[in-house]
Amino acid sequence: MPTRALWTLRLSVAALALASARDAWVPGSAVNGWLFMKAGLSERVAASADQVGAAIMVGVMVSALLRPSRVAMWAGATWFLGLALARWDHPGEAADHLAPISHAVRISALIALALLANERTQSAPRNMVAAGWALVVGTALTFCGHGIEALAHSGPFVDLMIGTARRWTDLRLAQATAEDLLTLIGLQDLLLAGLLLTRRWRWVAGWMALWGLATALSRVTSMGMDSWHQSVLRLANGGAPLTLFLAWPHLARPDPVPLKP
Amino acid sequence: MITVALMLLGACALDDPWTRLEGTQPAQWRLVWTTSPAHEVTVSWTTLEAGTSHKVHVRPRPGSQGLESTSVPSGQGERRAREVMAHRSGAYTLSPTEVEKEAGAFYHHARVTGLQASSAYWLQIESDGRLSPELHFLTAPAEDRPFKMVHGGDSRTGISERQEMNRFIGRLADEHPELISFAHGGDYIANGRLWGHWRLWLSQNEWTTSPSGRVLPMIPTRGNHEPGPIFDEVFDDPGGAGLNYFSTDLTPQVSLITLNTEISAAGDQAVWLERELQRLRPQRRWLLSQYHRALYPAVKDPASAKLHWVPLFEEHNVDLVLESDGHSVKRTVPIRAEKVDPSGVIYIGEGGLGVPQRTPKSDRWFLQEPGMSGKSHHVVLLEFGPAGLDSRILAPPAVSSPIFRPEEQPLALAPDAPWRFLAGADPAGASWREVGFDDSSWAQGTGGFGYGDDDDVTVLDTMRGEYSRLYLRALVDPAALASLEEVQLAIRYDDAFIAFLGGVEVARAGVATGHGATAEGLSSHEATRWELFSLGSGAQLAERLGPGPAVLALEGHNHTSASSDFTLHPCLVGPSRVRAVAMDGPVVLDEFRLTPRDER
């Protein structure tokens, strides 16, 4: 596993964990919302769950930067799965019904790092293959989810485009124009997802890396540095396909390495 | 026998808390204002079956004085009423998961135009010959005159709490003749794609109709829990299907701009908002806005619309902004350019029509004094006049203020007092409520009884699934009561209780009739806050109880033995810092006055 690729994955996971810890600590997470509003538990219990989640995320961040631990990564993946399911079951945004798809790359990045936590696990071919599949599927699903949102002309996506254009160019982008662009972007995202899953072309992963990073950063380019956590949370959208690109063909070979008898 | 049977059937129908959905019986009525409240209103309602003929009958109340009088003589409405046919009817959209389970229902909208301003109108809805109750409403003024509006948001999952808030709003309509409208900040239900959730909310919304039959026209906002088409089906596309932003000219001097945080905030809506603010500001003494997600939130992160709307609000000097979504109470300091500025914009809210309340992050800079924050179900009552805009945040009677902590009040019986309790059995007779009763066989515990929601001191491990009643006894010193100007029972309870002092029943909640094992009509209730029940003058209570210790006895009821939680936590306190308008009136959580901009 190339060092650059592994570090890309580790930094992506660390970024995810940092932003998620912040979300659990400051406004409260989707798990908090589900426990308090849907399950009817007390605010104290819901807040305690957030404290546990924040602690897990801090552990994941430290582990990802210093020495990846399988236990920490699996715990982190479980937390992100919980967040996605909480959003799906107790939607607070129009697109939350897509949360398990749109957030897939966050879960898969943690699973991949769990599988590649150390040299011993990296040396097992099936771990490399499994990690590759996790990143491929996670990236494709996330691009699918975002593509569907883009085709639906999601209000927040429109605002990201209008906000970025205004902040950086003084151009007042009309909503209709932004929506037309989103249609193209949505089709692109779906196409890329399909190609990554079916064709496994390296350049597709490369383009997805660039696009994922650009869209992650669009939170800051549109709304300013106060929204840093939203960008950091989404760095894996580019980091996961970048890992694939840098680790090609170790992670994404079309034919898996045969297992030893 | 037949007469008795019919009477029993009638009694069952009368016991329904709202109009039953059956056949083409009009139910779930609501009135909607969008742009011209002085001359137009949309009357909306529901029938279970599609029916063929849907209309409303409307006419001015005889001798109508508009805002000066709201009573409607009964039985006079049918003569000379104008008929307005529904312009739109259809089936509420069922989600794929509901198709097999929900019966579905049909919405109808009739747009009544050509109304006179400042007038009371009698109204009755008819579908295929079946009639709604007689209702009435007021139109908005066409001249500059004082009036009131109530605002609230986030009813959502607090099923019994939102019913209480609806009743409260209905009472306000009768108590305040100048109250003309109810602006709802969104999040009516938990999942706006489910007709089942809307069905219950719409039925409970009938409780906002006052006891005299007065309906407050709503100015509805779309919240983040109302994705999908049903919001527009319920309110007849306010501001346009899927758009849901519009401005309402309440008087020639007051406008309310309703925005939609669930679509693009920076696109067409921002363009429209800028244009409206430019048009309205020079013409209006009071310019307000409402939307769902808070830009200066007490709990969550700011909505992304903040970047696009706050500059416009500040540029055009909006007076007051009404926010929801946070499930708390707040009023910000006046804000301009992210700083306290007396000429700035005040944001008030933040969603308390029944949803479980959250603890605000009261250390946020914009919630410091003269701002405030708290945690209570509430509405905002706004009174618009030429000299000022008065805002009061009100909680219903017997609801504690967000700052209420019993240990900070004068105490006659502390929250952590020792109690004798009987669990898993019912005491014989009523003698257990008296001081002479031998309770030596009862268990002992510290106040705060219950299970299931991690807020109990004496945990009843075996209650769930086994029994649903708990009996408590504690000794009270009448001399301690005598020292209090007013004695209040402060209590957290889930689901119901009856309290006795000196053997006499002094308070009950959630139990319609009976006691103990014969209690009937139990309601569900969440113990989200301390609630206050006034027991009267301390001196008078002490006189009745006489010298020597007295007993405060309570029986607590769970709605069912299988309930996931139970709470019974009583204490006795004196007058609290919370001010009530009257002994049994609403609790004022906050009040302030804005002067017109040119005077600030």
CATH classification of the domain holding B120: 3.60.21.10
Average pLDDT over residues A69-87: 96
pLDDT at residue B536, rounded to an integer? 84
> Which residues contact residue B136 at a Cβ distance below 8 angstroms, ignoring those fewer than 6 apart?
B61, B70, B72, B120, B121, B122, B123, B212, B213, B214, B215
Instruction: Find the length of chain B.
Output: 600
Judged by DSSP in three states, B79 sits in: coil
B263 touches chain A (CB under 8 A): yes
Confidence of residue B66 (pLDDT cuts 50, 70, 90): very low
Q: What are B322's two structure tokens?
A: 């009404």
Average pLDDT over residues B204-209: 93
Q: State the Cα–Cα distance between residues A163 and B270, nearest whole angstrom.
A: 12
Q: State the Cα–Cα distance between residues B593 and B548, nearest whole angstrom.
A: 49
Structural domain harbouring B415: 406-576
CA distance A91 to chain B (A): 7
Query: Is residue B306 domain-shared with residue B334, that is, in the same domain?
Result: yes
Written as one letter, the residue type at B159 is: I
Query: Is residue B415 domain-shared with residue B390, that is, in the same domain?
Result: no
Q: Is residue B594 part of a domain?
A: no
Is the model's pLDDT at B80 over the cut of 80?
Answer: no
Q: Is residue B447 part of a domain?
A: yes
Query: Is residue B366 domain-shared with residue B440, that is, in the same domain?
Result: no
* Cβ-based contacts of A163 with chain B (< 8 Å): 266, 307-308
Query: Is residue B385 domain-shared with residue B482, that is, in the same domain?
Result: no
> Based on C-alpha coordinates, what's the Rg of chain B?
26
For B319, other C-beta atoms within 10 Å of its C-beta total 23
Contact at CB, A40 and B267, closer than 8 angstroms = no
The pLDDT mean for chain B works out to: 89
Report pLDDT digits (tens) over A4-33: 999 999 999 999 999 999 999 988 999 999
Q: Is residue B589 part of a domain?
A: no
B32 touches chain A (CB under 8 A): no
Query: Is residue B347 domain-shared with residue B439, that is, in the same domain?
Result: no
Q: Is residue B7 part of a domain?
A: no
Following DSSP, what letter does each residue of A58-124 receive, concatenated? HHHHHHHHH---HHHHHHHHHHHHHHHHHHHHS--STTGGGHHHHTHHHHHHHHHHHHTSSHHHHHS
Average pLDDT over residues B561-586: 74
CATH classification of the domain holding B572: 2.60.120.260
Mutate to test the interface with B, among A175, A220, A226, A228 (most CBs of B within 10 A): A175
Decide if B31 contacts B115 (C-beta within 8 A): no
Written as one letter, the residue type at B382 is: L
Query: Is residue B168 domain-shared with residue B41, that is, in the same domain?
Result: yes
Judged by DSSP in three states, B245 sits in: coil
* Alpha carbon B62 to chain centroid, angstroms: 32
Structural domain harbouring A237: 3-247
Confidence of residue B64 (pLDDT cuts 50, 70, 90): low
Q: What are phi and psi of B46, to 5 degrees?
A: -130, 145
Q: Is residue A17 part of a domain?
A: yes
Contact at CB, B224 and A36, closer than 8 angstroms = no
For B583, other C-beta atoms within 10 Å of its C-beta total 9
CA-based diameter of chain A, in Å? 64
Contact at CB, B267 and A162, closer than 8 angstroms = yes
Query: Is residue B283 domain-shared with residue B424, that is, in the same domain?
Result: no
Q: State the Cα–Cα distance between residues B68 and B64, nearest whole angstrom.
A: 8
Contact at CB, A36 and B356, closer than 8 angstroms = yes
Query: Is residue B345 domain-shared with residue B422, that is, in the same domain?
Result: no
Q: State the Cα–Cα distance between residues B98 and B104, nearest whole angstrom.
A: 9
pLDDT at residue B8, rounded to an integer? 32
Q: Is residue A78 part of a domain?
A: yes
For β-strands B496-501 and B254-258, DSSP reports them as unpaired
Average pLDDT over residues B568-580: 75
Report pLDDT digits (tens) over B290-337: 999 999 999 999 999 999 999 999 999 999 999 999 999 999 999 999
What is the total count of domains within chain A?
1
Report pLDDT digits (tens) over B395-448: 987 544 444 677 777 889 999 999 999 999 999 999 999 999 999 999 999 999
Q: What are B374's two structure tokens?
A: 């708290």
Written as one letter, the residue type at B562 is: A
Report pLDDT digits (tens) over B213-255: 999 999 999 999 999 999 999 999 999 999 999 999 999 999 9
Domain boundary among B361, B395, B429: B395
DSSP symbol at B228: S
Query: Is residue B99 domain-shared with residue B231, that is, in the same domain?
Result: yes
Q: What are B451's two structure tokens?
A: 């299970």
B461: closest CA among B440, B443, B473? B443
Is the model's pLDDT at B7 over the cut of 60?
Answer: no
Report pLDDT digits (tens) over B12-44: 332 346 888 999 999 999 999 999 999 999 999
pLDDT at residue B586, rounded to an integer? 82
Distance in angstroms between the alpha carbons of the first and the last residue of chain A? 23
Decide if B471 contacts B527 (C-beta within 8 A): no
**What predicted TM-score, i.e. pTM, was given to this entire model?**
0.77
DSSP H/E element including B137: strand B135-138
Q: State the Cα–Cα distance between residues A155 and A158, nearest whole angstrom.
A: 5
Q: Is residue B20 part of a domain?
A: no
Q: Is residue A258 part of a domain?
A: no
What is the total count of domains within chain B?
2
